[in-house]
Amino acid sequence: MAVEQLHYGTVAKLFHWVIVALLTVQLPLGWLMPDIHRDMQPGQAMSLHISIGLTVLILIVVRFGWRLTHPVAPESNLPGWQRISSELVHWLLYLVVFLTTMTGWIFASMRGWSLSLFGIIPLPGLVGQGSQFGRAVGGYHHSLPWVLVGLIALHVAAALVHLFYYRDGVMRRMLPQVLR
Ligand code: HEM
Ligand code: HEM
């Protein structure tokens, strides 16, 4: 059993803020890129969306592994309900980011596209072209980003309430050393 630390370390903070930065680009890119038509091949915006999305997938999986092997104790002054609800939202964020990336990958595979990470590393399709299963599961890629946005809104609102209302140390736990 890994020993719980009292603060997030540099690696955990780096994972957190790099993923925040990538999602800040990825969500608007998803909604603004041109719609897909039958038999169409991915254009530049879609290829970028796929590469950023797959990068987020790799980072969230590695980050989750890091989280399991480097557990951090919740802020000690939090009331029980805040401890439980924040843990719940954190686990849901990991889960929904993962599901969003996987449904995107399944959807793109179902289109029969050849996928790659920034045109350098080729990636396999997860289902066959035109697969019914791929179409059904990939369809969730339209709604999951909204679930993710809802969770992020809750999470950021909670962080801001701690920063400006409770004025406790919760926000500082995730800030780089120089800003604390
Ligand atoms: C966390 C990462 C991701 C986020 C936040 C995200 C977000 C989005 C959003 C908001 C849309 C627009 C949906 C709509 O118009 O209803 C979209 C579309 C799409 N995404 Fe992602 N995406 C992610 C990862 C991926 C990955 C990893 C892939 C493929 C490997 C992918 C492939 C696609 C495709 C093919 C579409 C077009 C779907 C369509 O127009 O029918 N996405 N994504
Ligand atoms: C400006 C936006 C954001 C702010 C200010 C923020 C702030 C924070 C803070 C202060 C913590 C530490 C909470 C604690 O000590 O209990 C935290 C943890 C966390 N944040 Fe964010 N966050 C932001 C965006 C995001 C986004 C977009 C995600 C989506 C993946 C995310 C996922 C997480 C997760 C999973 C944790 C828990 C880390 C762990 O214990 O493994 N955050 N965030």
Binding site membership of 148 for ligand 2 (Cβ less than 6 Å)? no
Could you tell me if the CB of 158 is within 6 A of ligand 2? no
Residue 52's SS3 state is helix
How far does the centroid of ligand 2 lie from the alpha carbon of residue 16, in Å? 6
State whether CATH 1.20.950 applies to domain 10-179. Answer: yes
Q: What is the pLDDT of residue 112?
A: 94
Q: What percentage of the chain exceeds 90 in pLDDT?
A: 84
- Of the pLDDT bands very low, low, confident and very high (cuts 50, 70, 90), residue 74 is confident
Residue 53 near residue 98 (C-beta atoms within 8 A) = no
pLDDT digits (tens, 9 = 90+) for 14-61: 999 999 999 999 999 999 999 888 777 888 999 999 999 999 999 999
Length of the chain: 180
Pick from 107, 115, 141 the residue to mutate for probing ligand 1's pocket: most ligand atoms within 8 Å of its CB.
141
16 Cβ closer than 6 Å to some ligand 2 atom: yes
* Residue/partner pairs of 65-70 with CB below 8 Å, 24 or more apart: 66/11, 66/12, 66/15, 67/12, 67/94, 68/2, 69/2, 70/2, 70/5, 70/9, 70/11, 70/12
For the stretch 102-124, pLDDT in tens is 999 999 999 999 999 999 999 99
Q: Considering every ligand atom, which ligand is closest to the CA of 138?
A: 1
Atom 22 of ligand 2 has which residue's CA nearest to it? 156
> Which amino acid belongs to residue 79?
P
Say how many Å lie between the CA of residue 140 and the centre of ligand 2. 24
Question: pTM for this one?
Answer: 0.95
DSSP 177: G
Q: Give residue 49 CA to ligand 1 midpoint distance, Å.
A: 7
